[in-house]
Amino acid sequence: MTIPETYTSLIPLWAVLVSLAAVPLILISSKYRNLRETWTIAASIIKFGLVLSLLPGALANKTAEIKILEVFQGVDLTLRADPFGVFFALIASGLWIFTSFYSIGYVRGLNEHKQTRYFASFAVCLSATIGIAFSANLLTFIIFYEILTIATYPLVIHKETREAIIGGRKYLVYTLTAGLFLIAAAAWTYQIAGTLDFKAGGLFSDGMLTAKNALPLFLLFVMGVGVKAGIMPLHSWLPTAMVAPTPVSALLHAVAVVKAGVFGVIRVVGFVFGPYLMREFGLNNILMTLAGITILVASLIAMRQDNLKRRLAFSTVGHLSYVVLGAAMLTPSSFTGGMMHIAFHATMKITLFFVAGAIYVNLHREKVSELDGIGKVMPWTMGAFTVGAIGLAGIPPINGFVSKWYLGMGSVELGNLIPLAILVISGILNIAYLIPISYVAFFKKGEKLEGKGEAPLFMVVPLVITAILSVILGIFPDLFFKFYKLAANIAVSIIGAN
């Protein structure tokens, strides 16, 4: 295994700060919406460019690092763009560009109130997300994790209805409580190991963990990252938060919040405990059981949801646990598949939420039972939905097939076919709760659709592009951003360190 090379660079810091620097510009431009939204777009493009510049180094197993300050002995506030951090940051920063354009069409189409607060909060969220991606240790991770929680709250309650306020409070109760568990886990980890630095293969040395402390420490971490990862029974805030505007739902489900949760799961499994200790104390079996239950139960609940966004929300709960399952199986292929599903689920799910928002802005319809015939007036939109639905079911040539393939390979490598069976059953359930939506949209006769057409271009173009991207990455999974190569290299660094 190649020894990673670390070099000092300000790029990880600039990548975090660029959207934060846009916030005051957005605020002072509140009366000039074109200028305000120009700052948003510019920040998203610059952020993505900075992250992309780190990709060649990540592929060469080089890590950019910048130490900001020493908090106490042995623990620094440090940003480190290791290959896994670059992998996650590429997804978040890239999809923020599409979300920014889409948001313009959405808020203008509905003439939303407090649009300036909306765009400013979005910018802070993306700064926090990149901070999470580039956190070198648990302390830095927790700081940005909590910033993301707080910054997302104004977006969840954006409509300021009673339902929105209740949803926002529930979101805060769950996520802030999770933060306390995470802080407790980090403090205990420091007491045992004397460090909080992430390390591929685990940060604990031989003999540090015993059967007495391994399980409770691991459960603290699971409760800390499992809330945002949507692991049942820690998931119920997520469907409730669907009261937020649709671009916020896309942020929650595809770009930032829940993806930060599963990113945290992989950090805990692969960079805190490591595969050896996970197996020694049977922690992986606990995680596999939780993931398997979540995948199947969430899929069954999704089938009963008539509200489109709630159906997609429960779909997300299930698909997040694909990533958790991949990490828990502890094989090279399962880790590769789990990490690839972070990226590939993002392109598919953001497409589906973009579609839900386009339908709402254009037709003011939110229920699955109201979607008969809309494919005839919104063919591009519903065509994109069909691509995302097929991909989530794991059908080629959409990218969801690729990540599920490697997860299935991981089950075979493990010598345990139960995870493979769960993946197959889940795929069938995905077909059952998503494909009928496309069927009724294109093949059933709708009502009150005369004179209707597609949503604004600012909304339709991004969702078509993300759908096309899902197809391209399904045929060429290593095209553009080398997601497969990065994921495979990261998996080897974790598994090979033991």
The model's pLDDT over 354-394, given as tens digits with 9 standing for 90+, comes to 999 999 999 999 999 999 999 999 999 999 999 999 999 99
Give the residue with greater pLDDT, 418 vs 498. 418
388 in Cβ contact with 358 (< 8 Å): no
Indicate whether 6 pLDDT > 60.
yes
- CA 53 to chain CA mean position, Å: 22
Q: Can you list the alpha helix ranges (DSSP code H) found in 330-417?
A: 332-363, 379-392, 399-414
pLDDT tens for 263-275 read 999 999 999 999 9
Reading the block at residue 469, the tokens are 């991207």
* Average pLDDT estimate for 151-178: 91
- Poorest-pLDDT segment among 173-182, 210-219, 255-264: 255-264
Q: Report residue 497's pLDDT band, with 50, 70 and 90 as the boundaries.
A: low
* Average pLDDT estimate for 412-430: 96
pTM over 0.85: yes
Percent above pLDDT 70 for the chain = 99
Q: Report residue 2's pLDDT band, with 50, 70 and 90 as the boundaries.
A: low
Reading the block at residue 235, the tokens are 């998931």
Reading the block at residue 296, the tokens are 């199947």
Q: Are strands 5-8 and 62-72 parallel, antiparallel or unpaired?
A: parallel
Rounded to 10 deg, the angle between the 257-266 and 332-363 helix axes is: 170
CA dihedral 11, 13, 15, 19 (to 10 degrees): -150
- C-alpha to C-alpha distances, 321 to 78, 100, 108, 283, 398, nearest whole angstrom: 29, 27, 35, 16, 19
Q: What is the pLDDT of residue 451?
A: 84
Give me the chain's average pLDDT, please.
Answer: 93
Percent above pLDDT 90 for the chain = 83
Q: Report residue 253's pLDDT band, with 50, 70 and 90 as the boundaries.
A: low
Reading the block at residue 431, the tokens are 């077909």
β-partners of residue 7 are: 64
Q: Report residue 242's pLDDT band, with 50, 70 and 90 as the boundaries.
A: confident
Domain boundaries, the chain: 5-495
- C-alpha to C-alpha distances, 244 to 227, 275, 309, 430, nearest whole angstrom: 18, 38, 10, 24
